Amino acid sequence: MESDIQRYLNRLLHEKRYSEHTVNNYRRQLEKLLAFCQNAGYNNWHQITTQDIRMLIAKQHRQGASPSTCALLLSSSRRFLEFLLSEKKIKVNPAVGVRGPKKAKRLPKNIDVDSLNHFLDQMPEDEPLQIRDKAMMELLYSSGIRLAELSGMDVNDLSFSDQMLRVLGKGNKIREVPFGNSAKTILASWVKERNQLVKSASEKALFVSQQGNRLTNRAIQQRLAHWGKQLGLNDRLHPHKLRHSCATHVLESSSDLRAVQELLGHASISTTQIYTHLDFQHLAKTYDAAHPRARKKKE
């Protein structure tokens, strides 16, 4: 059984060109699988069952392994057993269909209202590309749209009269999203500058490069990271952080989860519940002010 593991690791190293660090990670995980089999009295890989794989993962979890560590063990075992299956050492892969412990979903950090307002107010507007970058950030924060939705937006998707965006979201679903006065002002300035940069009438993109072509997702990420560093923002600035800040601030002000769901374009409200969060201090104040059983009785 040890020789099978070594043969597999040699294949990863020499044929698949995996790094030594990655191969060593696989080695550590497969040593756990081997130890489990040996403790069970197995001397052939075909003896291992799906229930054994479940027991191995459960044992690791009970001993304090994180969901990520359990997932790594499960993935390593599944791939190794798939290798044995291809070599006809086993008839079925017992790790297929086995699930590890659920990982805790991490919420992205949002930027507090005062810090974000101060940051956006500091943004210079002296040059066309500065105006463009500020317009992108104002729009991301004002509307809570995704990075891909921003980069894919055309000029015709913007309506200044009613301050609405037409957004093509996930699953090619179109939704209407409002944007605020600050975004409207800087967007109006940018549209004028954009018309000077665009070389061809066939270019419909709202946000373009200095060469007049549609900005890529990567370019937008780089511009935001640049300004976050340039203007002294503590955390790295990226589009998703502005989206999350928008959702969090709207929810804190309105407590309207359904409205935030519509704004973000989530198919399920359960996604919105995970994605957005009220800080406990704000929640306590809202509860104290709104719930009839929370207020103190008049004496």
Active site (catalytic) residues: 146, 170, 240, 243, 266, 275
Contact assessment for residue 214 and residue 205, using Cβ atoms and an 8 Å cutoff:
yes
CA distance 18 to 13: 5
Q: Which of 107, 142, 108, 137 is nearest to 231 (CA)?
A: 137
Pairing, β 158-159 against β 174-178: unpaired
Q: Can you read off the two tokens belonging to residue 3?
A: 């020789």
CA distance 23 to 25: 5
Contact assessment for residue 135 and residue 187, using Cβ atoms and an 8 Å cutoff:
yes
Within 8 A by CB and 6+ apart from 2, the residues are 34
Within 8 A by CB and 6+ apart from 133, the residues are 123, 223, 224, 227
- Residue 48: how many CB atoms within 10 A of its CB? 22
CA distance 272 to 160: 28
